[in-house]
Chain A
């Protein structure tokens, strides 16, 4: 039970990060660049690994999915940081508590890697050879379905964002407007 709560908490944290990225996008009209989309994608995949834990029971392989995705996110974020680290190369987007969102993405993915390693180290959560039975209460099932629903809504929202920003062609490196909306309403 504590591991289930910990997994739900971690998923909600990732959803919170992605939700705040959307809030930045909509409130401050800060258009996400292709690398920003890659970082969002990595965080979504990380949440998927934890959701698999809630859906099919706790397995080390599910945590492996989360870890791989978080490593990918940190690579994408590090790539983004390295593009702007040299003085005079500028930055992308508004800072949040003195750090840009790609720097936050790197920090969050590193902290999440440590958190996932901590979570996967508890042996008691895995089914033993004698007891493979996986019990789920009605409440935990409902929470799992709700989280899956939010997850799918977040993916669909990101897809809509890509579609509005880039259309069906490749995304511009430094987007200035929603390409598709501009084409429709010009």
Chain B
């Protein structure tokens, strides 16, 4: 899941670099939500494996 998160961030960075700002922000939002969910899982159940 962390690999996917970094992957989406990489896509967002590349999109931002070439000039697609809104699409990059959408990708960034998606990956931040994903990261927040992982953190929530960790807080809620102490699941360290994600």
Count of A interface residues, CB-CB < 8 Å: 38
**How far apart are the CA atoms of A145 and B50 in the complex, in Å?**
33
Q: Which of B16, B19, B24, B49 contacts A34 (CB 8 A)?
A: B49
Count of B interface residues, CB-CB < 8 Å: 29
Q: Does A45 contact B (CB under 8 A)?
A: yes
The residues of B that contact A155 with a CB separation of less than 8 Å are 6, 9-10, 13
Q: Does A6 contact B (CB under 8 A)?
A: no
Q: Does A15 contact B (CB under 8 A)?
A: no
In contact, A79 and B16 (Cβ under 8 angstroms):
no
In contact, B32 and A173 (Cβ under 8 angstroms):
no
**How far apart are the CA atoms of A170 and B3 in the complex, in Å?**
9
**How far apart are the CA atoms of A56 and B33 in the complex, in Å?**
24
B44 → chain A, closest Cβ, in Å?
Answer: 11
Q: Does A37 contact B (CB under 8 A)?
A: yes
In contact, B49 and A41 (Cβ under 8 angstroms):
no
A82 → chain B, closest Cβ, in Å?
Answer: 9
Residues of B with Cβ closer than 8 Å to A? 1-3, 5-7, 9-10, 12-14, 16-17, 19, 21, 24-25, 28, 31-32, 35-36, 38-39, 42-43, 48-50
Residues of A with Cβ closer than 8 Å to B? 33-35, 37-38, 41-42, 44-45, 48, 51-52, 55-56, 65, 68-69, 72, 75-76, 79, 145, 148, 151-152, 155-156, 158-159, 162-163, 166, 168, 170-174
